[in-house]
Structure 1
Amino acid sequence: MRSILHIALASAVIVAAALSASPAVAQTITVKVPFSFEVAGKTFPAGNYWLSRDDQRDYVTLAAKSSSQYHTSCLIGPGTPSPSESKVALNFDTVGQTHLLQSIQYGTMISGKLDRQALESERVSMAHSVGR
């Protein structure tokens, strides 16, 4: 039986530059993802990504620097971090060899689950294969 591993990918180097006290409309940072991953059934390659936060519309966009075909956007809202939290993190679930992007944290804001359907589909598939 495969286990699901929760991985948080964060970079302390980018946090200081990304989260300033100024009321900027959009804040963009660079994150490096060292493995391929899936978002809503689409496979994104390992590499460097822009992560942009739009404070006026409460959403974040993750886009590959190398190709415009790899991008996703999602709404973010208040999360459980402390009010002074400045961490930026991509949170993944790992099923077998597949990394599924589950949420994006940007300071005190966090997205909802991004890939519930793929993860649930994998769990159902695993349950059927174990029962045989």
Structure 2
Amino acid sequence: MQSILHRIAIAPAVIMVATLAASPAIAETTGIKVPFGFEVAGKTFPAGDYSIRRDNRDGFVTLASKESSQSFTSIIGPGSPSPLEYKIALKFDLVGQTHLLQSIQYGTMITSKLDKKALESERELGPVAHSGGR
């Protein structure tokens, strides 16, 4: 009798571990090409190929250059895209001659507004947006 109760108590734990193992904690997308240099959080990034990695467990997204050691990490949360939208996109604003990364969308998740400098310009001039993704 004790053996049966022990098995019943262990079964849900095994199922939960199997479920967690089946869904990867980190999803990565490679091959995103940004055709212009840009700024985010006070850092300047060159034009080039980038990868985006989303950590499903901790709620972070990382944009990393494939040609240099530069990277940027931000918190990502539920966004306004439809639940069936799975695109990965970078949204930029153009302030003067500078492209500012405003948000990173990874499926239905999105970062909050990343650059406060663009918020100030938007109030003064109105929004000018460039989007890219796949």
Q: If the length of structure 2 is used for normalisation, what is the TM-score?
A: 0.71
Matches within 5 A, 1:90-105: 90-105=90-105
Structure 1 residue matching 2:91: 3-state secondary structure: strand
Query: What 5-or-longer segments of structure 2 have no aligned partner?
Result: 1-21, 126-134
Distance in 2 between residues matched to 1:120 and 1:27, nearest whole Å: 30
Map of 2:40 onto structure 1: 39
Q: CA deviation at 1:23?
A: 1.9
Instruction: Give the Cα–Cα distance (whole angstroms) in 2 for the partners of residues 97 and 78 of structure 1.
Output: 31
Shift of 1:50: 1.2
Q: 1:43 to 1:125 in 2, by over 3 A?
A: farther
Question: What amino acid maps onto 2:97 in structure 1?
Answer: Q
**Bigger-Rg structure (1/2):** 2
Change (3 A) 1:83 1:65: same
Structure 1 equivalent of residue 118 of structure 2: 119
Which structure: greater helix fraction?
2
Aligned-partner residue type, residue 95 of structure 2: V
Paired residues in the alignment total 103
Where does residue 81 of structure 2 map in the other structure?
Answer: 81
- Report deviation, 1:96: 1.9
Query: C-alpha separation between the residues in 1 aligned to 2:23 and 2:83?
Result: 16
TM-score, normalised by the number of residues in structure 1: 0.72
State how far apart, in whole Å, the 1-side matches of 2:87 and 2:119 are. 28
**Residue in 2 that maps onto 1:53:** 54
Alignment of 1:108 with 2:108, yes or no, is yes
CA positional deviation for 1:48? 0.5
Quick one: distance in 2 between partners of 1:120 and 1:112? 12
3-state SS in 2 of match to 1:84: coil
% identity of equivalent residues: 56
Q: Could you list the runs of 5+ residues in structure 1 that have no partner in the other structure?
A: 1-21, 127-132
Shift of 1:79: 0.6
Aligned to 2:129: none
The 3-state SS of whatever aligns with 1:119 is helix
RMSD (Å) for aligned C-alpha atoms: 1.8
